[in-house]
Amino acid sequence: MPQGGIEDGEDPKTAAFRELREETGVSSAEILAEAPYWLTYNFQPEARERLKNHWEEEINLLGDGTDKPEFGKWSWMSLEQVLELVEDSRKPVYEEVLSFFSPHL
């Protein structure tokens, strides 16, 4: 599921569309529903360390302005497949997202 941070001065809806475009290439979309509250991950220490190491590898030290694609591969899949494949630390949030938005799919 596309996700990411909100940049300084950016409103949440603009950030959602930007993240969708950056992560999937989809540039034409509309908002059908919104979660009733903010959803956040509760990463365990070992997951935080893996993420830290991952992002350190992603930093472009050349400063040449080129962007590395965020994902080398993505695909459409069933809701059941999403929950099977997501890492355990993200699963509770994914389950909440699916409970909110599955009626709109």
User: Is 0.85 topped by the overall pTM?
Assistant: no
The pLDDT tens digits for 45-66 are 666 666 665 555 555 555 555 5
Domains of the chain: 1-31 (no CATH), 35-104 (3.90.79.10)
According to the model, what pLDDT value does residue 27 have? 87
d(CA 95, CA 1): 12
Residues in Cβ contact with 68 at an 8 Å cutoff, skipping those fewer than 6 apart: 58, 60
